[in-house]
Amino acid sequence: MKTILYISSSARQFTPEQVDHQSISRALGEAFIQEFKVHYSQTEVIYRDLSVTPPSFISTDFLAASFGDDSKGEQQAVLAESDALIQEVIDADVIVLSSPMYNYGMPAVLKAWFDQVIRINKTFTFDLARGDKPLSPILSGKQLVLLASWGEFDFKKGDSQYFMNHLTSHIEQLAPYLGAERFFEVASEYQEFNDKRHLESKAQAFVEAKVLARELALT
Ligand SMILES: Cc1cc2nc3c(=O)[nH]c(=O)nc-3n(C[C@H](O)[C@H](O)[C@H](O)COP(=O)(O)O)c2cc1C
In what side-by-side order are the strands of the sheet with 2-8? 43-49, 2-8, 94-100, 142-149, 180-188
b or e along 123-162 (b: 16 or more beta carbons within 10 Å of the residue's beta carbon)?
Answer: bbeeeeeeeeeeeebebeebbbbbbbbbeebebbeeeeee
Q: Whose CA is nearest to atom 8 of ligand 1?
A: 103
Local confidence band at 68 (pLDDT 50, 70, 90 cut-offs) = confident
C-alpha radius of gyration, the chain, whole number: 18
Evaluate: CB of 142 within 6 angstroms of ligand 1. no
pTM of the full structure: 0.96
Q: How far apart are CA 147 and CA 31, in angstroms?
A: 10
Extract the annotated binding site for FMN.
10, 23-25
Confidence of residue 21 (pLDDT cuts 50, 70, 90): confident
What is the model's pLDDT at position 145?
98
- Ligand 1, atom 12: nearest CA belongs to which residue? 151
Cα 171 to ligand 1 centroid, rounded to whole Å: 17
CB 14 near ligand 1, within 6 Å: no
Minimal-distance CA residue to ligand 1 atom 16: 150
Q: Are 25 and 147 in contact (CB under 8 A)?
A: yes
For ligand 1, whether the C-beta of 23 sits within 6 Å is yes
- pLDDT of amino acid 24: 97
Tell me the domains of the chain and their CATH numbers: 2-218 (3.40.50.360)
